[in-house]
Structure 1
Amino acid sequence: MTEHEAPEAASDFMTPIDKVLDGIALLCRVITGVSIVVLTVIFGWLVFGRYVLNATPTWVEQAALLLVMVITFLGAAVGVHEHTHLSVAAFRTAAPRWLRMIFVVCSDIGMLVFGLLMLIYGAKLTAFKWGSMIPLIDLPEGLRSLPLTIGGGLIMLFSLAHLVRIVLGRDLRSDTIQ
């Protein structure tokens, strides 16, 4: 049982939604994990090529930039889903429960709006840049901003799910109920 599942009725409409969101978060974790491994391997190839073969593979930098975008934005979305993203909880923790709930709701609304803006403007940027190619790896330039778009949509989706759980009284995040 994940942190956001309440031990109540299994017929709750959020249960299948939570399973889908958990599956999406797991897929994002797998993609970011594989991306980190690939990033490590290609940088190993870069070092080997430069110092052993005396022939630097020039495509590594461009591929690394793409992988860093994937790791950053999908990883941030997972952090929102699992409530492990960077936050300053000092005021929330010191506040009384009723005020703490207001802080949590405002934080979730802020994250939802931020994710929506990332989605909208990331999609515009992706569409704008899709026609040009990334030098050395010959992939569409829009791939650089596609993780921004996807990550923004996921941040929005995960934040909305947090808000729905709060409204239903099923939010079990520790900073909400401490």
Structure 2
Amino acid sequence: MTAQSTGLAERILDWLAKLSMGVASVLMVILIAIFGWLVFGRYVLNNTPTWVEQAALLIVVWIAFLGAAVGVRRGTHLSVEFFRDALPPRLRAGMVTFASLALLFFGVVMAWQGYVMFDRTVRRDIPLLGISEGWRAVPVSLSGVLIVLFCLDDLIRPVLLRQKD
């Protein structure tokens, strides 16, 4: 891989992270709007929209999983850096690699199991929404695929940078 193709890969992965965060942000706005409709319907119209709870659950799943993938890309995922940073440089580098490999494995499991969950629920509808239950599983798989891509970049980039030197 050349430095130019590495730069292209970085830009694509950054774009995917920005797109994911953009989708999650739009979904957050939609979530707030439908809860506004819930409050308005319940207290002003005295007619509670029953579909809001199911829609909110679906939207929260999408927001959470897209956000988790972006957290891996940005390095803001759950980690305990205090212990890692207290280690000598060689052990610290090994811990960083181990963490990336563990996240990579976790992403593969998420992608696969999300697909399995989709396959098992696609023919069932979400109550009150009338859309496939499989839509709850799509963000699990999508997030898993994104996590795998982001972790592969984290693992490959240092090797390529060393070769360039």
- Relative to the length of structure 1, the TM-score reads 0.87
1:79 corresponding residue in structure 2: 71
Match of 1:141 in 2: 133
Q: Given the alignment of the two structures, is residue 49 of structure 1 paired with residue 69 of structure 2, yes or no?
A: no
Aligned AA (1:79): G
Structure 1 pair 114/88, CA: closer, same or farther in 2 (3 Å)? same
Aligned to 1:64: 56
3-state DSSP of counterpart to 1:91: helix
Which of 64, 73, 95 matches 1:103? 95
1:150 aligns with 2:142: yes
Q: Which amino acid aligns with 1:90?
A: F
Task: List alignment gaps of at least 5 residues for structure 1.
Answer: 1-9, 171-178
Q: Distance in 2 between matches of 1:168 and 1:102?
A: 17
Shift of the alpha carbon at 1:86? 1.9
What is the percent sequence identity of the aligned residues?
47
- Compute the displacement of 1:13 (Å): 2.5
TM-aligned CA deviation for residue 12 of structure 1: 3.6
**Structure 2 residues without counterparts, runs of 5 or longer:** none
Quick one: distance in 1 between partners of 2:6 and 2:62? 28
Q: What displacement does 1:156 show?
A: 1.0
Per-residue CA deviation, residues 55-101 of structure 1 (Å, 9 max, x unaligned), is: 00001011111110110000000000011112110111101111100
Kindly provide the amino acid, as one letter, of the partner of residue 77 in structure 1.
Answer: A
> What is the Cα deviation at residue 168 of structure 1?
2.1
Q: How many residues align?
A: 161
2:106 corresponds in structure 1 to 114
Residue 52 of structure 1, CA deviation: 1.0
Following TM superposition, by how much is the alpha carbon of 1:166 offset from its aligned partner in structure 2, in angstroms? 2.3
Could you say which structure has the higher helix fraction?
Answer: 2
**1:108 CA displacement:** 0.1
TM-score scaled by structure 2?
A: 0.94
